[in-house]
Amino acid sequence: MALVMPNAVLSIANLRVSFPRMEAVRGVSLALNRGEVHCVVGESGCGKSISALSVMNLLPRGAVRSADHIRFHEHDLLGMSERQMARLRGDKIAMIFQEPMTSLNPAYTVGSQMAEVFERHRRTTRRQALDRAAELLARVGITAPGMRLAQYPHQLSGGLRQRMMIAMALMCDPELLIADEPTTALDVTVQAQILRLLHKLQQEMGLALLLITHDFGIVARMAQRVSVMYAGEVVESGPVEQIFKAPTHPYTRGLLDCIPVPGVTKAGEPLGSIPGVVPRIAPGFLGCGFRDRCTLATAECAETMRLRDAGADHFYRCRLPPNWKQGTAP
Amino acid sequence: MLSFILRRLWLAALVCLTVLVVSFTLTHLSGDLAASIAGPNATAADIAIITKNYGLDRPLVVQFLDWASHAAEGDLGRSYLFHAPVSGLIRDRLPVTLTLGLTGLTIALLIALPLGILAAVREGSAIDRGIMLVALLGQAMPGFWLGLVLIVVFGLDLQWLPISGIDTWQGYIMPGFVLAFSAIPALMRLTRSGMIEALCADYIRTARAKGLSRSMIILKHALRNAAMPVVSITAVQLGFMLGGSVVTESVFALPGLGYLAWESITKNDFPVVQAVVLFLAIIYIVVTLLADMLNALLDPRLRA
Amino acid sequence: MKAAHDTYAPSKRWRLPTFGHFATLLGAVIVATAFLVAVFAPYLTPHDPFAQDLNLRLIPPIWMEGSQATHLLGTDQIGRDYLSRLIYGTRISVLIGVLTVVTSGIIGITLGILGGFYGGRIDAVVMFVITCRLSIPLILVALTVVALVGSSLTVVILTLGLLLWERFAVVARTTTMQVRNLDYIAAAQAAGASRAHILLREVLPNIANHLVVVATLEMALAILLEAALSFLGLGVPQPLPSWGLMIAEAKEYMFFSPWVIVAPGVALFILVLGINLLGDGLRDMLRADLRQWRS
């Protein structure tokens, strides 16, 4: 892939994750600079979460991961032992998850769960760790942090829990934050607050943020770069403005047609939808995963599809030329 | 928390009373108690005397109230067989059974918990299958038979352990092990399934994402959540063990409650039997009550 | 992430199915063999299991010194053929297992379905009864009843049947709660079906799978308990060849001829193991996680 970024915080090249009966991720490459927000967007089951978990090496059992490299700064995560990985996790690389309800241990207090990360990586006393936890709770906008520290997860609302998850992830000042659909399980109003918070913290701390989402609205608000995933592949990738301005892959266009864009979508105009569902990719599958749902598919689409350069740091994986027009496509 | 305890106490008292009524009714209605006490060679006159002496001709309710009111004052009646107060007999024998039960429980937990955790952590591996096979074999092993085999092997052939009695503490080893064996399969399976469930939970992934060590994840985060059903089942198993001490104690001739009960049953000494049933029921109720409270401590959600 | 887990998590399903299948098959073979042996016992026994011969006491089994070819497993302390007694013992164990499960099944399932279906007060009562039953020391009460009523096969079966229903009740209750709110039950109610019809024709068939698993567990337990009762002399009366009773009788001689306790013990072990293997296999086939409740 042409995305060579020598100073990248995270760089993934040709990541593949397979399960005994399916290929979840098929050659994903992406890179992320310091202070950058990179969104991976796609429908559920497209492999975006699995890609994110691959970085942390937290894949579910039965998953086999391989890649040319998964690099965090100059360290190759692929070759790291579980012990070395554990030292990075929660310290330099942190992750937050979709379900704040189930992602916290019901048996321990907020304070205990936050403090243990700090104790683990910074070798501090419980007292110091709790002070740090209180500081971060305040930072994520939780009032009366002292009281919250003594509470159990079930005593908090979903929004509070997700704030707490974010605070917990930031305990050790990570350089890279991976957020896997951090707002999907929350109410719409809370979603907006959490996004604003993430955005603010990302800016303040200069975090590299890998944000997994299915929502192009979030992409528009947060990201500098976006990678669109479908059936285990990145089908299109580029700077956000570029993708919104000139989406090239039929799938990206389909996705963007599904959401109203202020100033572009005209009132009364029907929103699009893509018929069909994401296929399950069996081992040995070749070609474009989208071809069964694509109205423009030809025999060519069943062959291995190379990544094409559309210029301006914008890449896509389709037989069609850049700037193809609906209706005129060959 | 307080209302929870009060509610459970009220329920426990009710259960206790019911068990009492049932066991009393059972001993007085199934068969002719007087004839049983009198023995096979008794004449009709003997039986009549016994009926009169023990007040067995009174209505059942009166007999029950009489017994219960005395029992409430600590008077559990007199043993026909030992010619002594039942409460004294129980006081003498209870420590043996409790020691045995706790020995059995300790052995069971020491074996079942680590193996159950190990099986869960290595789910699907040869180790897991091996451990589950042991559970399966253990479940099929008749306890009394295991006891006899142990006596022959360790008591007779190898002469490592005493074959009966509790003159030394070694006397508790074999019976404790036999008793433990009855509880190990259930404890092990439940520990395993609870741990497997906990290890699949989202919060375990969070713990791993925090970079915690493997032992922290397994022993702090997973085990704490898997512990609750295990605590409940441990209480139930302890109850079963004490109940099962009838068999174990008679195999190893240990002078505990179970042996006392068995002797009394075979000799038709029913006041003793009734008191032992009552005691075992109370112990069971108390132990499960303690387990519920322990669970409330373990799970903050139950405290609310 | 949730979706991803749903899609990928069932990895354990494909791991080594052969072991489980083999175990289940083995269990089925053991159980089927036991049933056949029980039914055809008179045609299989080389000797009369009750015939004593005081000249042929405690003959060791065929692989030991001093054995006789006509008594494959030797003879007991009063010269009865051990193999024949063992074969007839299968009858007793199987009979106990089946009839106890039928009795306790009827009690437990009725209670469980009523509690689970109606909920509220009825359920509270059912739960209370279950708690009481669990508080009663099982073996002790069974021993007492048998002692009072007099030992016979019928008494043992009835006693165990009346005591071993609580797991049926618990499982029937939870599973009934799960199916109660399903559409077809509502549909049947809307169609004006009677309560009895709904419980017997709609609820029961839908929880039957789970109950079959419980039945195997209870059958194993009943067989072990009968053996324990008989061992303590308050189960099946002499001279019936109950395996537990055989062990009890052999106990006096085990110091000199240890093999006498081996045969009935092993028989008991194999039969119970077979039933448990079959039950585990059925449970795995069910897959819906029947909560391991005092398994």
Domains of chain C: 21-294 (1.10.3720.10)
Q: Return the number of other C-beta atoms located less than 10 Å from residue B213's C-beta.
A: 15
The residues facing A234 across adjacent strands are: A229
pLDDT digits (tens, 9 = 90+) for A236-257: 988 988 888 888 888 888 888 7
**Residues of chain C with C-beta less than 8 angstroms from the C-beta of A99:** 1-2
Instruction: Give A92→chain B minimum CA distance, Å.
Output: 10
A327 compared with B129, residue with greater pLDDT: B129
pLDDT score at A38: 92
C14/A98 Cβ within 8 A: no
pLDDT score at A6: 63
Phi, psi of A278, deg, nearest 5: -65, 125
DSSP string, C141-209: HHHHHHHHH---HHHHHHHHHHHTTHHHHHHHHHHHHHHHTSHHHHHHHHTT--HHHIIIIIIHHHHHH
**Residues of chain A with C-beta less than 8 angstroms from the C-beta of C12:** 61
**Residues of chain A with C-beta less than 8 angstroms from the C-beta of B213:** 86, 120
Query: B81-105 b/e with 16+ CB inside 10 Å = b?
Result: bbeebbbebbeebbebbebbbbbbb
DSSP, res B58:
S
pLDDT score at C13: 42
Gyration radius of chain A over CA positions: 21
Evaluate whether A106 touches A155 at the Cβ level (below 8 Å).
no
Q: How far is CA B251 from CA A134, B240, B256, C143, C226, in A?
A: 61, 17, 12, 15, 16
Q: How far is CA A258 from CA A216, A220, C169, C258, C272, in A?
A: 10, 14, 52, 81, 62
Q: How far apart are CA A317 and CA A321, in angstroms?
A: 10
Residues 103-122 of chain A whose Cβ lies under 8 A from any Cβ of chain B: 103-109, 116-117, 120-121
**What's the mean pLDDT when you consider all of chain C?**
81
C5 compared with C47, residue with greater pLDDT: C47
Quick check: pTM over 0.80? yes
**Strands A315-316 and A308-309, bridge-based pairing:** antiparallel
A225 lies in the same domain as A319: yes
pLDDT score at B111: 94
Q: Return the C-alpha torsion angle B230, B232, B233, B239, nearest 10.
A: 140
A69 lies in the same domain as A50: yes
Mean pLDDT of C38-44: 84
Nearest CA in chain A to C7: A45
Q: C271, C256, C251, C218: which is closest to C86 by C-alpha?
A: C271
Q: With bands split at pLDDT 50, 70 and 90, how would you rate the model's confidence at A299? A: confident
Domain boundary among A141, A171, A201: A171
pLDDT score at C125: 92
A128 lies in the same domain as A247: no
**Three-class SS state of C81:** strand
**Residues of chain B with C-beta less than 8 angstroms from the C-beta of A121:** 211
B31/C144 Cβ within 8 A: no
Of all residues in chain C, the percent with pLDDT exceeding 70 is 89
Q: How far apart are CA A180 and CA A97, in angstroms?
A: 5
DSSP, res B40:
T
Give helix B60-72 / helix B2-29 axis angle, nearest 10°.
Answer: 130
Give helix C259-286 / helix B126-140 axis angle, nearest 10°.
Answer: 120
What is the span of the domain harbouring residue A112?
96-171
- pLDDT winner (highest mean) among A51-60, B251-260, C101-110: C101-110
Q: How far apart are CA C261 and CA C82, in angstroms?
A: 11
Residues 4-23 of chain C whose Cβ lies under 8 A from any Cβ of chain A: 4-5, 7-9, 11-12, 14
List of chains touching B (3+ CB pairs within 8 A): A, C
C254/B145 Cβ within 8 A: no
Q: With bands split at pLDDT 50, 70 and 90, how would you rate the model's confidence at C275? A: very high
Considering only CB atoms, A45 lies closest to which of C7, C9, C14, namely C7
Q: How far is CA A97 from CA A106, B84, B207, in A?
A: 16, 69, 12
Q: How far is CA B62 from CA B30, B53, B80, C67, in A?
A: 18, 15, 21, 62
What is the amino acid identity at position A143? T
pLDDT score at A1: 44
Instruction: Give C55→chain B minimum CA distance, Å.
Output: 26
pLDDT score at C160: 92
Decide if B30 touches C, using CB distance below 8 A. Answer: yes
Query: C49-60 b/e with 16+ CB inside 10 Å = b?
Result: beeeeeebebbb
What are the structural domain ranges in chain B? 2-72, 88-302
Considering only CB atoms, C9 lies closest to which of A21, A60, A97, namely A60
Matching CATH number, B88-302, of 1.10.3720.10, 3.30.450.20, 3.20.20.80, 3.40.1440.60: 1.10.3720.10
What is the amino acid identity at position B126? A
Evaluate whether C175 touches C210 at the Cβ level (below 8 Å).
yes
Q: Is residue A3 over pLDDT 70?
A: no
pLDDT score at B82: 79
The residues facing A26 across adjacent strands are: A16
**What's the mean pLDDT when you consider all of chain B?**
85
A229 lies in the same domain as A304: yes
B36/C272 Cβ within 8 A: no
**Residues of chain C with C-beta less than 8 angstroms from the C-beta of A49:** 1, 3-4
Q: Return the number of other C-beta atoms located less than 10 Å from residue B6's C-beta.
A: 10
A296 lies in the same domain as A167: no
pLDDT digits (tens, 9 = 90+) for A212-234: 998 888 888 888 999 999 888 88
Evaluate whether C3 touches C55 at the Cβ level (below 8 Å).
no
The residues facing A66 across adjacent strands are: A16
List the CATH number of the domain containing A223.
3.40.50.300
Evaluate whether C96 touches C103 at the Cβ level (below 8 Å).
no
The separation between the first and the last C-alpha atoms of chain C, rounded to the nearest angstrom, is: 34
A313 lies in the same domain as A213: yes
Of all residues in chain A, the percent with pLDDT exceeding 70 is 93
pLDDT score at C193: 77
Q: Where are the alpha helices (DSSP H) in chain B?
A: 2-29, 33-38, 44-53, 60-72, 86-121, 126-140, 143-150, 173-199, 202-209, 214-215, 223-252, 257-266, 270-298, 300-303
A63 lies in the same domain as A182: yes
Mean pLDDT of B243-263: 88
Q: Is residue B271 over pLDDT 90?
A: no
Phi, psi of B78, deg, nearest 5: -115, 145
Residues 115-144 of chain B whose Cβ lies under 8 A from any Cβ of chain C: 123-124, 129, 136-137, 139-144
Place of tokens 């979709």: A98
Evaluate whether C266 touches C257 at the Cβ level (below 8 Å).
no
**Residues of chain C with C-beta less than 8 angstroms from the C-beta of B186:** 292, 294-295
pLDDT score at A129: 93
**Residues of chain A with C-beta less than 8 angstroms from the C-beta of B299:** 106-107
Q: Return the number of other C-beta atoms located less than 10 Å from residue A318's C-beta.
A: 26
Residue to mutate among C143, C144, C174, C293, with most B CBs inside 10 A, is C144
Q: Is residue B102 over pLDDT 50?
A: yes
A160 lies in the same domain as A269: no
Q: C1, C98, C94, C87: which is closest to C50 by C-alpha?
A: C87
pLDDT digits (tens, 9 = 90+) for A164-193: 999 999 999 999 999 998 888 888 888 888
Instruction: Give A70→chain C minimum CA distance, Å.
Output: 21
A132 lies in the same domain as A247: no
Give the count of domains, chain A: 2
The gap from C-alpha A284 to its chain's centroid, in whole angstroms, comes to 26
Q: Return the number of other C-beta atoms located less than 10 Å from residue B38's C-beta.
A: 20
